Structure 1
């Protein structure tokens, strides 16, 4: 669906409701990133900023088993930071620049980008300040992606909006949180939604070089897989 994978030097946003596999996709990508290039990887380390406490080392080890990677080594190649609020989230991001200067990192995950902002800034009275701070963080992410040639994968929550346009909302009326500031920062946007039974559907809504299309997947012990469990 993505024409080969997550692009470096740009921001890819994945949004959807709960239990659609956003964190599972993030952890799967964290393992795939470490694979050799001839196996679809990037032969690099991963930086993981967790704002919701959903990261699990045991899941990394399970996913590693699927790809024939040593689980302990995979965990060691992931620098992990638990963001407690939006300011701490930006501090963690700034601290990564020194690590990225080594040239060993190929993926930066933020799961999720808006969780801390939604807690720290409540109501319309603080909306302007929230968007300003969010814009600063997204600008930092964009600059890091370009300067260090890394792929930025960020997950996002959704909110109900029955009057939303089809461009920004799915068929069920849900749209990603963050407004136009986030929409303009993301080069690639992917909507995750629940399908039939255990199936999930990813829809590519915005991309600089790929047409709109969908892909079906399931969540297994080995992370995100196609319905046959082969990819």
Structure 2
């Protein structure tokens, strides 16, 4: 709440302009100064400065509300609580979709559809409320240069062909998605700090950052002394600002994350300390499939345990038997651990509701340590050999097969 702009604390325009000349623009900047410093920069008396301090403190202090008031407000306007993903089964588990007022993280290996999900949600946020949208604009911060305007139009036209039946509607939709390419941590943080005014002026209803891990891992090599502390500080500041924006304006914030390798073969290496070069390391499996032997490594969400506590909801996308993939609800304050199958098509992500889920072996665990299947399993080679009439083969193998990405992630 301290990130709130001073002009929203009901200070006079003249005083706000005077303070801005001293780079004092937020409630936090104001409250961190002593009384003498405030008297100097405001040019006001001791008593008036005390009044200003009380006014600013009240403006940024969280307002108390009862659970009943929250329930009534959401029952009057249910659309203000969630942004529907249009994936019916997933929305049902999440009680309506991606929650407003909190941070939702999408984690997956490359090629599973993180960016496709973000582009699809951009389309949905611009839809009218009657269609499950938020009837607003989208701020899309792209740190990997992966956003595609052509894909945005393709998803819109194929997912809602009746609504987007003219070039004019597609034009209006694309004008509502504001894209920013920020390739450094500093530029991302500056952009986040500037979003408050933009949310108000452009009626922004959704913020997307694709991806947080990309800029962090390019700039902070955790093997160098001091880098881990700096990285943690950046992530904490960014998460705090985004939480404020989400709560203050009751909008959803979607962030994408990458994967990392956590080793378990006698070495206790925290995910925070794993080098980015290890990201594509595969879980090593001993023996045949189903042998139950212990894995020597596993793939988990990047950025560590502290970051996992900053996000309120975590969805994991992972490989399954091609062409299907899985959505895992790994962390949510309202939903149980759940798994859904999906494919990526011209209309975006499409759930395969009729697919049998009886063979699932995934169980809910600590979301920060949840293993992610980064490649598709294939049959034991001995079965393939038998089918080809080579039962006399002396070797049998089991392992992992590289999965071909169906779309850019």
TM-score normalised over the length of structure 2: 0.52
1:224 aligns to 2:323 (yes or no): no
1:96 positional shift: 1.6
Q: Deviations over 1:6-43 (max 9, x none)?
A: 00000000101000000000000000111122322111
Residue among 144, 150, 153 paired with 1:58: 150
Greater gyration radius: 2
Contact kept in structure 1, 2:342 and 2:349, CA below 8 Å: yes
Question: What corresponds to 2:318 in structure 1?
Answer: 193
Instruction: Give runs of aligned pairs for residues 68-217 of structure 1, distance below 5 A.
Output: 68-69=163-164, 70-102=169-201, 104-124=203-223, 125=225, 126-163=227-264, 173-217=298-342
1:19 is aligned to 111
For 2:180 and 2:120, the matched residues in 1 are separated by 17
* Runs of at least 5 residues in structure 2 that lack an aligned partner in the other structure: 1-89, 269-282, 284-297, 354-409
Q: Please state if 1:40 is matched with 2:141.
A: no
Q: CA contact under 8 A between 1:27 and 1:60: conserved in structure 2?
A: yes
- Summarize deviations over 1:59-116 as a string: whole Å, max 9, x none: 1100110213332222100111001100011111112211112472211000001111
Matches of 2:219 and 2:133, distance apart in 1? 36
1:6 and 2:105 correspond: no
How far apart, in 1, do the equivalents of 2:148 and 2:102 lie?
Answer: 26
Q: Which structure carries more strand by proportion?
A: 1
Q: Is the Cα–Cα contact under 8 Å of residues 137 and 202 in structure 2 kept in the other structure?
A: no
Taking the aligned partners of 1:157 and 1:216, their CA distance within structure 2 comes to: 20
Q: Which runs of 5+ in 1 are unaligned?
A: 165-171
**DSSP 3-state at the match of 1:73:** helix
> Partner of 2:127: helix, strand, or coil?
coil
TM-score (norm 1): 0.91
In the alignment, the residues of structure 2 paired with residue 78 and residue 140 of structure 1 have an alpha-carbon distance, to the nearest angstrom, of 21
The structure, 1 or 2, with the larger RCO (C-alpha pairs under 8 Å, 6+ apart) is 1
Distance 1:207 1:133 in 2: 24
Structure 1 SS opposite 2:98: coil
Distance 1:83 1:153 in 2: 16
The answer (yes or no) to whether the contact 2:340–2:352 under 8 Å persists in 1 is: no
